[in-house]
Chain A
Amino acid sequence: MAETNEEVAVLVQRVVKDITNAFRRNPHIIDRCHMHPAASKPRLYHCMEREHGSSIYKMRKNQQRRLGRKELILSGTLNPIKDLHLGKLALTKFPKSPETWIHRRWVLQQLIQETSLPSFVTKGNLGTIPAERTQRLIQEEMEVCGEAAGRYPSNYNAWSHRIWVLQHLAKLDVKILLDELSSTKHWASMHVSDHSGFHYRQFLLKSLISQTVIDSSVMEQNCLRSEPALVLPKDEEAAASTEEPRINLPHLLEEEVEFSTDLIDSYPGHETLWCHRRHIFYLQHHLNGRFPQSMTQLSPADSPGGTLSDLHLIPAGSQLSQAMEVDGLNDSSKQGYSQETKRLKRTPAPDSLGLEMEHRFIDQVLSTCRNVEQARFANAYRKWLVTLSQ
């Protein structure tokens, strides 16, 4: 029987390692843990140990209190990476478990804070990108979230963890946001009623908008001239000399609208898809009202004053100072939908051309659909658009 803390520490390490190996050999052990899905994490590990036939707690018979996992990690007894791995296994059985996700974030924070190596490195003239080690952590979390999302419909805990990782580990790095947008597209198309999955895409687009504004304003400050007419050529030079990814925001939003149209036509009767469309329309309109032409043209390929699609007619002669007003945009990804609704009511009415196209889309859906729910959602969307222009 173990008496000293050191002996316990060694045994804990061994037990964790044994459990991990046992799971690797036979992943189905976890299915024998018949527990209520809301069972707390300590009981889950208790159960896993029981199945495996060993127990950390047997060894601590004389102690009053069990060592918590946080203490084990802080004391250096338990390797945080191993703990993450064990958590990953637990999530295969309990993909929603709030405690597991919360603990996971704590471990990740320990990992970022404790290391002597930097999490971010500078690259090029502007900006920083996540270091390789951080990138690997991020990728692993994306994978864990993806798997958990597949195991339980609209898994809010998994998706909010995913968002947290992008905010705190990736610091909303633009390239990662773009990668996530494209890599989750297929998943979304195969889970058309997964509200959390589509909310994630809305978060990505909102973050891209806010990050683009920040990058542009940094570029503005670095430029020598500040007149709108001269900004673009300077931007082109600046952009060409860095490795910043080129983002065409209006194009991205337009693509998302097309994606939404495609899904609504193929899979009639899913409210999530219509909800998503409202969000995208709102983002397009929001983008519309906030930026003068020069700010949105980050791609050197765009000729000045020409290529923005007609859908996004921006009021001419906007003051640059107005465009720098980025309050709220930074936080938009963190604030709730109700905030956005309030802001929506304050901003000027969306341009008539965009609205017209949406009404035509609704007409087309209503004339061809035979699904009762689809008709209901289309009509509700129409009503919502009408309230926007009031």
Chain B
Amino acid sequence: MKLYSLSVLYKGDAKVVLLKAAHDVSSFSFFQRSSVQEFMTFTSQLIVERSSKGTRASVKEQDYLCHVYVRNDSLAGVVIADNEYPSRVAFTLLEKVLDEFSKQVDRIDWPVGSPATINYTALEGHLSRYQNPREADPMTKVQAELDETKIILHNTMESLLERGEKLDDLVSKSEVLGTQSKAFYKTDGCC
């Protein structure tokens, strides 16, 4: 049961901006770690790009589940987890983080922010604490507000794309991925 990344983003009209991210790539082998991190950023941005405002979704890709929440005010959060981690808790975490973020960081900074300029430091702590869902959220079993039927489920990343769009193309065009990561993607076919 694992959380790999937690990111806060802004869904601008033109593009998606990464505001802050925390990662746990300790379970990956040493030389893979930086590539994995880049892919998680790439994936988080892509998912937010293809999700409408005011929606929640879970996107499955191999053994990973990416949970996204895009608020009506364009603030968005993505959690990348394994397939054991309960999605209920993932969405609780997203709700909590975005709420906290919006109170600590001025709205005016969102459209033009970046991890270097944004002053929000709680993300690493949240990611670490939520590795154990029952410790972090003892009320897991009691799910009052969130209506799970409204969460959109995607069985692959591909289903987010437009007709004719290929993930390979998006990978090679991406500014977020380094050359090593792109090469890695080609040989291993991972994401």
Contact = CB atoms under 8 A, between A and B. Distances in A.
A189 B86 CA distance: 12
A151 B12 CA distance: 39
A267 B86 contact: yes
Given A191-B84, A192-B1, A193-B84, A370 B148 contact: yes
Contact of B141 (A153, A190, A192, A265): A265
A370 B86 CA distance: 13
A28 interface: yes
A31 B29 contact: yes
A270 B83 CA distance: 10
B128 to A, nearest CB: 14
Given A265-B141, A266-B134, A371 B148 contact: yes
B30 A270 contact: no
B contact patch SS = loop
Nearest to A267: B86
Interface string A352-390: 000000000000000000110000000000000000000
Contacts of B102: none
B140 A192 contact: no
Interface string B127-154: 0000011100000110100001100000
Q: How large is the interface on A (under 10, 10 to 19, 20 to 34, 35 or more residues)?
A: 10 to 19
Contacts of A28: 29-31
Given A370-B148, A371-B148, A190 B83 contact: no
A28 B26 CA distance: 13
Contact of A268 (B32, B86, B149): B86
A266 B30 contact: no
Contacts of B86: 266-268
A54 B11 CA distance: 54
A190 B31 contact: no
Contacts of A153: 63
A190 B30 contact: no
A43 interface: no
Q: How large is the interface on B (under 10, 10 to 19, 20 to 34, 35 or more residues)?
A: 10 to 19
Contacts of B133: 266
A192 B148 CA distance: 21
A93 B1 CA distance: 20
B31 A193 contact: no
A66 interface: no
B134 A193 contact: no
Interface string A271-310: 0000000000000000000000000000000000000000
A32 interface: yes
Contacts of A191: 1, 84
A127 to B, nearest CB: 38
A370 B149 contact: yes
A270 B84 contact: yes
A190 B1 contact: yes
Contact of A31 (B30, B63, B83, B84): B30
Contacts of B63: 153
A189 B134 CA distance: 10
A267 B84 contact: yes
B31 A192 contact: no
A316 B142 CA distance: 43
Contacts of A266: 86, 133-134, 140-141
Interface string A243-287: 000000000000000000000011110100000000000000000
Contacts of A31: 29-32
Contacts of A189: 134
23 contacts: A28-B29, A28-B30, A31-B30, A31-B31, A31-B32, A32-B31, A93-B29, A153-B63, A190-B1, A190-B132, A191-B1, A191-B84, A192-B1, A192-B84, A193-B83, A265-B141, A266-B133, A266-B134, A266-B141, A267-B84, A268-B86, A270-B84, A370-B148
Given A190-B132, A266-B86, 17 more contacts: A28-B29, A31-B29, A31-B30, A31-B31, A189-B134, A190-B1, A191-B1, A191-B84, A193-B84, A266-B133, A266-B134, A266-B140, A266-B141, A267-B84, A267-B86, A270-B84, A370-B148
